[in-house]
Amino acid sequence: MALIALGILAVVRPQQHPATFAAEDAEILFADGAGTTADLFAIQPDGSGRRALLPGAGPPDARAVWSPERRRIAFPVREESLQVVASLDLATARRHLVTTGPADDGPDWSPDGTRLLFAAAFNRGQPEQAAFLTTVAADGSDARPVIALFSPDHRLDGPRWSPDGRSILFTVTDRAAGGELYRVEADGSGAHRLLAHPGWDDVDPAWSPNGRRVAFAAGAIASPGEPVRHDIWLLDLGSNQVGTVVADAGLDLRRPAWSPDGNRLVFDALPIGAADPAARNLYLSPALGGGPRQRLTTGRAPDWDAGAPAVPSETPTASPTDDATSPPTTPPPGSATAPALTDLPPLPTLPPFPTFPPPEATIPGPAPTFPASAPSPTTPASPPTSTATGTTPPTATRTLPRTTVLLPVALRGEPARPPRPTDGSP
């Protein structure tokens, strides 16, 4: 296989100025709009104050994310035939193209705001396909590949940095069998499957603010040609409890994001059968489920601001997270600088991706309801349903013997060891 060299490019180009960015309460960032590109908006958690931030920001289903200090936004954008990651300084309206593509997606800021994590793919769908998780400084320099996967049938999606910056969640998606959640240390070591959940498409992982729980979207694999309907699930990393917190038979629920206090989730929902991304809506729900859902607005791919003070737009001030190498003014159109990549490891030295787990028997039955507080696994008497008022009623549960495993269980123990099947096979 021909090895593909990674290159990172920092470019500054003029861009339409976003709306004035004033100091406000924590906001939810999201995409909306029809056509081939999406516009970026922000809204208050109570559904008020919807405001435009950036028109024509990127692909219609792309996810944009706030930086920790709420000064910048990172998002995927199409440049000619490439998809790259860009960042926008909200105080100066300067846009930086951080990566060079050809297919970069899923950006996420490091907890200190100095680096960006993203998924990169080359020759997608071809026998020599390569996929990487990579981090890069916010100015486009100091690229550090985390892990590599060489497979024509799999891709890496949705990487998310842990709140302490030590590990990364991501999805390994099989084109035929759906997604599985994985975790890897930030230095590329110890990659392992996080959840044994055969027969389900697990995607869109999101850390809780304290790093103790993971919200994600999961749906039973459908027949060929039929869309997968996802619910919002929750995995407790301490107790290994896992199950649904929001479910609706008429909606495909995707891309959960946590409130700064960890008490609520925001996610987007598309009516089953609708093909236009513009038909998606944003909803709020209690993080542990069981409460009413609140519709906020039309939109998709939300990210919840941490609520740090915003930088006044009149006189931007430097902060420890500012890029030291950023130019003081916007260069003329077409100018570009390419930082040195002497520290970029050659591909053969990257930590190898672990062997894929063996096939498992599909877990039967409806999705379980997440137990808010239970010492042992529980299973619902009936699947959660939505009422006319948009609430999820409490579901009766029963305690199972400790020797019976009916719920998917998070894999514990040494991360480097191969995961153990949950169906009793050797």
Using CA atoms, how far apart are residues 93 and 112, in angstroms rounded to an integer? 21
Q: What's residue 408's pLDDT?
A: 28
Element (H, E) at 297: strand 294-298
Which CATH superfamily groups domain 11-315+336-342?
TolB, C-terminal domain (2.120.10.30)
Share of the chain above pLDDT 90, in %: 42
Q: Are 378 and 153 in contact (CB under 8 A)?
A: no
Kindly report the average pLDDT of the chain as a whole number: 74
Q: Tens of pLDDT along 147-171?
A: 998 888 888 999 999 999 999 999 9
State phi, psi for 138 to the nearest 5 degrees. Answer: -60, -20
**pLDDT for position 114:** 95
pLDDT of residue 424: 44
- One-letter amino acid of 21: F
Contact in structure between 302 and 285 (CB atoms under 8 Å): no
Q: How long a stretch of residues is the chain? A: 426
pLDDT tens-digit series, residues 191-233: 999 988 889 999 999 999 999 999 999 999 888 778 889 999 9
Question: Which residue reads 């579901």 in tokens?
Answer: 395
d(CA 189, CA 193): 13
- Transcribe 200-214 into DSSP letters: EEEEEEEE-TTSSEE
Percent over 70 (pLDDT), the chain: 68
What is the rounded CA–CA span in Å between residue 213 and residue 408? 15
Of residues 354 and 333, the one with the higher pLDDT is 354
What pLDDT does residue 282 have?
A: 96
Instruction: Taking residues 94-112, report their average pLDDT.
Output: 92
Residue-wise pLDDT for 371-418, tens only, equals: 754 444 333 333 333 333 343 333 333 222 222 222 223 333 333 333
Residue 255, pLDDT score: 96
Task: With cut-offs at 50, 70 and 90, classify the pLDDT of residue 123.
Answer: confident
The CA distances from residue 354 to 193, 197, 339, 350, in Å, are: 9, 18, 32, 12
Most confident of the ranges 34-38, 155-159, 418-422:
155-159
Q: Is the pLDDT of residue 327 over 50?
A: no
Q: Which residues pair with 96 in a beta bridge?
A: 12, 87
More confident residue, 306 or 359: 359
Q: 80 or 397: which carries more pLDDT confidence?
A: 80
In angstroms, how far is CA 151 from the centroid of its own chain? Answer: 21
What's the CA gap between 255 and 340, in Å, rounded? Answer: 35
Residue range 247-298, pLDDT digits in tens: 999 999 999 999 999 999 999 999 988 877 778 999 999 998 877 789 999 9
Backbone angles phi, psi at 348, to 5 degrees: -60, -20
Bridge partners (DSSP) of residue 391 are 292
Is residue 310 pLDDT above 80, yes or no?
no
Residue 133 reports pLDDT greater than 90: yes
The torsion angles phi and psi of 371, rounded to 5 degrees, stand at -80, 125
d(CA 108, CA 119): 10
